[in-house]
Structure 1
């Protein structure tokens, strides 16, 4: 298996790798209206930590999607162990395997930045109901960066682009979202550091090189603390 940041998260089965973790997710969702009739799509569900929380907290219909088969299998095991009726689906954000107007909410936690946003954002709009809402917690470029800095960030994280707030807004606007609210998340370097002792599902065999990836992730979060920010985007029509 290739030694990449995303494969590292998959092998360690990190449950809350996105900035702010589950606590931030709880705060964001507490502002929304959800009940048993609500349909939620958790894009890039990972090991299913957020999907499980939503299912238990709101008793609504949750679909958990991921393109990483290791992550998806770990999510299935989580749901089974918790006796949760959560639908799992293999697929990508750029080509969602769902019909138009299916979901009330789509949640993307540090996922869309790893996709081609020009393709994933329109897909979110397509599968959302007319009054649906996209909630995205995403990496955001705070300042201009040199070509060298940009290359190091893109290469390490495997992201296709590093957008600033206006560029995120533009992509969501082009996708058909008219109302875009943005809240910046104050991050500290230690928040970026993934604590695998918190919520994890370790694979049986993990090459030592993947431990070094965690170390570099923490190093980059400190080195680029003034460049790498995070925004909560609430997008609707």
Structure 2
């Protein structure tokens, strides 16, 4: 298996790896009108921490989608152990395997930035109902960087682009979202250090090189602390 940041998250089974973790997710969701009839898509669900929380807290229909089968297997075990009827779906955010107008809410937690945004964001719009809401917790570039710095960030995280707030807004608008709000999330260096997470689902055999990925991630989060920010985007049609 290739030694990448995303594969590292999968092997360690990190839950709530996005900035702010589950606490931020709870706060974001608490502002929405979610009830038992709501249909929610958790894009890039990982090990299913957020999907499990939503299903348990709101008792609504939750679909957990991920393109990584290791993550999905760990999510499935979580749902089974908690006796939660979460629907599991393997698929890509760039080509969602759902019909038009399916979901009331889509939640993306540090997922969209790892995809081709020009494909993914229109897909969100397509599968959302007319009054649906997209909640995206995503990496935001706060300042300009040199070409070499940009390449270092893109190469390590495997993201296809590093967008600032206005660039994110432009993509949402082009995809047909008319109402876009953004809340900046205040970050501290330790919030990037995945080791502080207490939600793990470890694979049996993990090559030592993946531990080095954790260290590199923490190093970059400090070096680029003024560059790499996080925003919560709320988009509706």
What is the TM-score of this pair, normalised by structure 2?
0.99
| In structure 2, distance between residues paired with 1:174 and 1:165 | 14
Dislocated runs of 4+, deviation >2 Å? none
Contact 1:12 1:196 in 2 (8 A): no
Matched residues in 1 for 2:178 and 2:195: separation?
37
**2:20/2:191 contact within 8 Å kept:** yes
Cα shift at 1:39:
0.1
Cα distance between partner residues in 2 of 1:156 and 1:205: 22
Matched residue, 2:78: 78
| Offset, 1:224 | 0.1
Aligned length: 237
CA distance in 2, matches of 1:208, 1:131: 47
- Residue 225 of structure 2 is matched in structure 1 by 225
Residue pair 1:193, 1:217 contacting (<8 A) in 2 also: yes
Q: Aligned partners of 1:158 and 1:65: how far apart in 2?
A: 19
Query: Take 1:41 and 1:16, find their aligned partners in 2: how far apart are those partners?
Result: 16
Which sections of structure 1, spanning at least 5 residues, go unmatched? none
Distance (whole Å) between structure 2 residues aligned to residue 151 and residue 195 of structure 1: 25
Gaps of 5+ in 2: none
Could you tell me how far 1:230 is from its partner in structure 2?
Answer: 0.4
Aligned to 2:17: 17
Could you tell me which residue of structure 2 aligns to residue 67 of structure 1? 67
Please state how far the C-alpha of 1:196 moved relative to its aligned partner. 6.1
Partner SS state of residue 195, structure 1: helix
What CA deviation, in whole Å up to 9, does each residue of 1:49-102 have, x standing for no partner?
A: 000000000000000000000000000000000000000000000000000000
